[in-house]
C-alpha cells in the first residue's frame, strides 16, 4: 500500500507509517494507540483486526461482544483525534487445518466466525461514519477460484491457513486501496500515428513522437510485479484473482490513425501484438507488460519502503515499548524520529523520473 501510494500518487506527498504488531488483538492496539499512533496526528488510518480476535474457534456471542466493544472504542478514539479511519475486516482462513492443536472447529466454522466479525465492522463503520475495507470476501472467493485454477496446493491464506503469502497480501492491499478510493489512473498516452503527434496525462512529459516511436519522461509509476500467476507467494498471482490492474493500475496506451490492421508494441525489452481496434480502444501497459521500464526503479522504491517499515516496527516494539521508552518516552520518540527521517529520505532518493520509449510498429 505504501509503495503504491508513493509511486502512483506522488502529487499527494503522503507520509505513511505502519504500526502493526504480530499476534495482536484489537484490545492490544486500543491500549497502545494513544502512545504509539495518535502522537503522530494521523489524518487517515487503516485497521485490520479480527483474525486473532476470533480465537480460531467457532463464533460465540462473547467473542463478538468483546470485539465490537474494542473496535468501537478504537474508532471513537480516532474520530476524537480528527482521524478518518478505514475499518478493515479480518481476512479469511485457509481450507486446511492449521498446525496448532488449540485451533477448534472446522474451516467453515472459523470462516463463519471471521465473517461475523466482518459484519460487526460494517455496523461500526456505518454507525460512526467511518470507511470500511472488505478484506474477507475478496480473499474467501479468491481462494476457491485459485484452487479451481491451480490446484488444491495453492494456499491463498497461507500454508498454515493463517499467514498469507504475497498473493494474499496483494488482495488485502487491493481491499484497502479500494476503500481509500484511489483513482487508479496511472497515466494515459494517446498517439496519432498519422500525424506523428502524442499527448500524455498529468505526471508524464512527452519528449518526442516520430514514426510510431514515443519517448516519455514519467514521474508516476505503475505498480510493477513479475512472477508466476499460479504461485501463492507471487504478487502477480494475486493480481490475477482480483481486478487490481483494471481498477487500480491503469497505464493506458491509445494509438490510432495508422493504416495497418495489426501492430507490434515494444516497451522496454518486451513486445506484444495488438489489433488496430485494440489500440484504438486502449490497452493497459501495466497489465500486459509485467516486466517493463519501471520495474528496476519500482523495486528500489519498494526496497526503501520495506527498510523504513522494518525500522518502524522496531521503533514501536523495541524502543517505544522497551527500556528506552520506559525511561523517557518523549526523548525516545524524538531520537527515533531522527533515524526514521533518513529512511524517509531514502525513499525520496529512490523515486526518480523514468524516461522510456514505446515503439508501435505495423505488422
Which domains does the chain show, CATH number per domain? 2-179 (3.40.50.1110), 185-363 (no CATH)
Q: Which three cell numbers stand for residue 153?
A: 496446493
pLDDT computed for residue 40 by the predictor = 98
Separation between Cα atoms, residue 136 and residue 258, nearest integer Å: 47
Cβ proximity of 118 and 154 under 8 Å:
no
| Count of residues in the chain | 363
Contacts 24+ apart (CB under 8 A), 272-280: 273/363, 279/253, 279/254, 279/255, 279/360, 280/254, 280/255, 280/256
Which stretches of the chain drop beneath a pLDDT of 50?
Answer: none
Q: What is the pTM of this model?
A: 0.96
Strand partners, 251: 187
Q: Which three cell numbers stand for residue 216?
A: 516519455
pLDDT computed for residue 310 by the predictor = 98
pLDDT computed for residue 32 by the predictor = 98
Q: Which three cell numbers stand for residue 184?
A: 487508479
Q: What mean pLDDT, rounded, does the chain reach?
A: 97
% of the chain surpassing 70 pLDDT: 100
CA 97 vs CA 169, 232, 271, 284, 316: distances in Å:
20, 17, 44, 40, 33
**SS3 state of residue 255:** strand
The angle formed by the CA atoms of residues 30, 34 and 38, to the nearest 5 degrees, is: 120
Separation between Cα atoms, residue 93 and residue 80, nearest integer Å: 33
pLDDT computed for residue 242 by the predictor = 98
Task: Tell the residue number behind the cell numbers 487503516, with chain if given.
Answer: 46
CA nearest to 34, candidates 46, 49, 19, 21: 19
**Residue 74, C-beta contacts closer than 8 angstroms, at least 6 positions apart:** 26, 29, 30, 33, 47, 85
Separation between Cα atoms, residue 363 and residue 359, nearest integer Å: 12
Contacts 24+ apart (CB under 8 A), 74-79: 74/26, 74/29, 74/30, 74/33, 74/47, 75/124, 75/125, 75/128, 75/130, 76/128, 77/30, 77/33, 77/34, 77/38, 78/38, 78/42, 78/45, 78/130, 79/128, 79/130
79: left (phi over 0), alpha (psi -120 to 50) or beta: alpha
**Residue 306, C-beta contacts closer than 8 angstroms, at least 6 positions apart:** none
CA 202 vs CA 4, 137, 245, 251: distances in Å:
17, 34, 19, 12
Each residue of 114-147: b (16+ CB within 10 Å) or e? bbbbbebbeebbeeeebbbbbbbebbbebbeebb
**Residue 314, C-beta contacts closer than 8 angstroms, at least 6 positions apart:** none
Amino acid at each position: 500500500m505504501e509503495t503504491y501510494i508513493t509511486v502512483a500518487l506522488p502529487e499527494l506527498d503522503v507520509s505513511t507509517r505502519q504500526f502493526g504488531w504480530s499476534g495482536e488483538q484489537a484490545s492490544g492496539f486500543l491500549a497502545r494507540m494513544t502512545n504509539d499512533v495518535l502522537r503522530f496526528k494521523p489524518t487517515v488510518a487503516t485497521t485490520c483486526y479480527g483474525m486473532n480476535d476470533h480465537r480460531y474457534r467457532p463464533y460465540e456471542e462473547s467473542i463478538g461482544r468483546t470485539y465490537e466493544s474494542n473496535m468501537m472504542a478504537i474508532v471513537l478514539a480516532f474520530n476524537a483525534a480528527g482521524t478518518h479511519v478505514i475499518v478493515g475486516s479480518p481476512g479469511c482462513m485457509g481450507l486446511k487445518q492449521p498446525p496448532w492443536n488449540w485451533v477448534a472447529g472446522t474451516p467453515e466454522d472459523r470462516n463463519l466466525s471471521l465473517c461475523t466479525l466482518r459484519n460487526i465492522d460494517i455496523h461500526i463503520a456505518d454507525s460512526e461514519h467511518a470507511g470500511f475495507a472488505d478484506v474477507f470476501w475478496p480473499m474467501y472467493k479468491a481462494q476457491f477460484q485459485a484452487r479451481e485454477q491451480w490446484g488444491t496446493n495453492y494456499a491463498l491464506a497461507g500454508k498454515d491457513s493463517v499467514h498469507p503469502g504475497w498473493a494474499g497480501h496483494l488482495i488485502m492491499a487491493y481491499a484497502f486501496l479500494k476503500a481509500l478510493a484511489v483513482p487508479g489512473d496511472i497515466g494515459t498516452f494517446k498517439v496519432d500515428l498519422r500525424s506523428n503527434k502524442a499527448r500524455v496525462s498529468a505526471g508524464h512529459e512527452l519528449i518526442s513522437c516520430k514514426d510510431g516511436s514515443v519517448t516519455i519522461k514519467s514521474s508516476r509509476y505503475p505498480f510493477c510485479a513479475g512472477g508466476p500467476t499460479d504461485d501463492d507467494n507471487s504478487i502477480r498471482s494475486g493480481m490475477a484473482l482480483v481486478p487490481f490492474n483494471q481498477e487500480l493500475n491503469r497505464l493506458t496506451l491509445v494509438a490510432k490513425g495508422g493504416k495497418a490492421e495489426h501492430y507490434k508494441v515494444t516497451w522496454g525489452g518486451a513486445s506484444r501484438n495488438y489489433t488496430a481496434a485494440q489500440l484504438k480502444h486502449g490497452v493497459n501497459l501495466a497489465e500486459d507488460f509485467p516486466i517493463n521500464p519501471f520495474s528496476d526503479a519500482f523495486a528500489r522504491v519498494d526496497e526503501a519502503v520495506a527498510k523504513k517499515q522494518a525500522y518502524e516496527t522496531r521503533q514501536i516494539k523495541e524502543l517505544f515499548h522497551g527500556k528506552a521508552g520506559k525511561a523517557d518516552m518523549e526523548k525516545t520518540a524524538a531520537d527515533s524520529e531522527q533515524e526514521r527521517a533518513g529512511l524517509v529520505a531514502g525513499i525520496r532518493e529512490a523515486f526518480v523520473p523514468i524516461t522510456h520509449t514505446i515503439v508501435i510498429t505495423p505488422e
